[in-house]
Amino acid sequence: MDFGALRARDGEPLAFVLVVQRPDGPTRHPLDRKATLGKAEDNQVVIDAYGVSRYHAELCAEPTCVLVRDLGSKNGTYYDGARITEVRVGAGATLRVGGPTGTELSIELAAQPRMEPSDAVRFGPLVGGSAGMRSIYTILERTAPTAATILIHGETGTGKEVVAQAIHQASPRKDKPLVVIDCGAIPPNLIESELFGHVRGAFTDAHGERKGAFEQADGGTLFLDELGELPLELQPKLLRAVESRTIQRLGEPTRRSVDVRLVAATNRDLAAEVEAGRFRQDLFFRLAVVSLRLPPLRDRGSDIIELAKHILAQLGQPDAIEFDPPIIQALLSYNWPGNVRELRNALERAIHLGAAHAIPMAAPGGSRAPRMLDEAPDLPFKEAKDQIVMGFERAYVKRLMGRHRGNISAAAREADIDRNYLYRLLEKHDIEK
């Protein structure tokens, strides 16, 4: 992994924190240069636990990673299930001291470095110069040319796959395959074969060998879309593939090495999924080395007009719509619950039916018309349902917080929901507290 991709623009080193899982709860220890850990009281991090030596290991914070060195301990320091003498790890890494099932340690970032928005108004196939998109471009400009693993958050239809294409095209792997796997579209009993492949006879219908997505993407990029839909029982196998860059075909006893750059995307709140036990924390950390959140179309302002013109050009009909004031007002005032995908659908209809019959128009007086069930976006059922729910959540929480002038406790009491859940909704929909 290219940890240098995470360095702050001005060269400022990243700030790491060591998290120690103790019987009475985790403790956090900032890593300032070098620290030793063990049972002895003169260690910077004292761990009085079974299997831990007096002077067990040493951790050294480097500009973009942490060097972990075992100090000749009796029961060992373990990373990725293997005993190590020395290893460099990044944020999200999990280690154990005192044996393979000993005390768990993890590495976190104390804070993300502040980055100024890019001056660009495009990045590869991505279009739009809004502040939210220019912040995305800043991250992509610095990480796309590296091997860093990237996790993309965003509502359905915001263009997460286009971001993956932009990352691939801006990387040294651009001449190798970009392989896309939609974890939500593959039946659970087939997804392991889709990811890792199989050999003949591995299961009833396995009549020959088949390469999985990891092998198909060898040398290139593997994009895992709808990551939050991945079955829990398959997540440990994905974690091992991510950490070791090796895979095992179904029915094959040996593992194969693969060279892939991983990009993943989700419209779920994975932190909440981890808390609920539906997604592994270690896998989440592994895939969220670099994390970015795409803004919904409704928050991108005049980008909507630029995107509309760009899409019409892609469709070979650049002059199909006259962007007069009523059309511009309609495009800017509509909520676009289906995001860019819904915009494209509306424009395709407009080419054939005319803009007035295809583009959602504002309600009288210029206010946004509320989305009703009989106005569901032109999307598959699950996506349409998700977007209606997302729109309801955002509108409900905005009104709720407005009534209580930002008072979280009062708002949570009225809504009869937990304060932590309300905090997650605010973050999910990017609503100011």
Query: Where residue 94 sits, what CATH number does that domain have?
Result: 2.60.200.20
Beta-sheet strands, E only, within 8-129: 15-20, 27-31, 34-38, 45-46, 57-61, 66-70, 77-79, 82-84, 86-89, 94-97, 103-111, 122-123, 126-127
Return the pLDDT at 24. Answer: 84
Same domain? For 289 and 302 the reply is no
Residue 111's DSSP bridge partners are 15
Return the pLDDT at 378. Answer: 59
Same domain? For 146 and 269 the reply is yes
Same domain? For 305 and 287 the reply is no
Q: 203 to each of 114, 208, 247, 251, 303, how far by Cα in Å?
A: 50, 10, 18, 8, 49
Same domain? For 312 and 414 the reply is yes
Q: 119 to each of 9, 123, 127, 131, 135, how far by Cα in Å?
A: 15, 11, 13, 10, 9
Rg (CA), the chain: 24
Same domain? For 302 and 288 the reply is no
Nearest Cα to Cα of residue 213 among 243, 235, 188, 190: 190
Return the pLDDT at 429. Answer: 76
Q: Which two tokens stand for residue 25?
A: 């709860």
* Cα 285 to Cα 288: distance, rounded to the nearest angstrom: 5
Place of tokens 């929480």: 397
pLDDT, tens digit only, all 433 positions of the chain: 444 444 444 445 567 889 999 988 888 888 877 889 999 988 889 999 999 999 999 999 887 788 999 999 999 999 988 899 999 888 888 899 999 889 999 988 775 555 678 899 999 999 999 988 999 999 999 899 988 899 999 988 899 999 999 999 999 999 999 999 999 888 888 888 899 988 876 666 767 788 999 999 999 999 999 999 999 999 999 998 988 889 988 888 889 999 999 999 998 888 788 878 889 888 887 888 788 999 999 888 889 999 999 999 999 999 888 898 888 888 888 888 889 998 999 899 889 888 877 777 543 333 344 444 445 555 667 666 676 777 778 878 888 887 777 778 778 777 877 777 787 788 777 777 6
Domain range holding 287?
Answer: 122-293
SS3 label, residue 395: helix
Beta-sheet strands, E only, within 254-356: 256-257, 261-266, 290-293
Return the pLDDT at 221. Answer: 97
Query: Where residue 160 sits, what CATH number does that domain have?
Result: 3.40.50.300
72 within a domain of the structure (yes/no): yes
Domain count along the chain: 3
CA–CA–CA angle 425, 20, 419 (5° rounding): 20
